[in-house]
A = this chain, B = another copy of it.
Amino acid sequence: MGHGHGKGPGQWCHGKFRGCGYRMTTGREAVLDVLSQANEHLSAEDIYMKIHPVYPAIGLTSIYRTLDILVNIGLIHKFDFGHGRARYELTEGPKGKRHHHHLVCTGCGRVIDYTDFIDEEVALLKKTEEGLSKKYNFRIDNHLIQFYGLCDACNRS
Contacts and interface: CB of A to CB of B under 8 A. Distances in A.
Contact of A112 (B116, B138, B148): B138
A73 to B, nearest CB: 15
> Which residue of A106, A143, A152 has the most chain B CB atoms within 10 A of its CB atom?
A143
Interface residues of A, number: 36
Q: DSSP class of A's interface residues: helix, strand, loop or mixed?
A: mixed
Q: How many copies does the complex hold?
A: 2
A17 B113 CA distance: 36
B140 A143 contact: no
Query: Top 9 nearest A-B pairs by Cβ distance?
Result: A140-B149, A142-B148, A137-B152, A139-B150, A144-B146, A139-B149, A117-B128, A140-B147, A141-B149
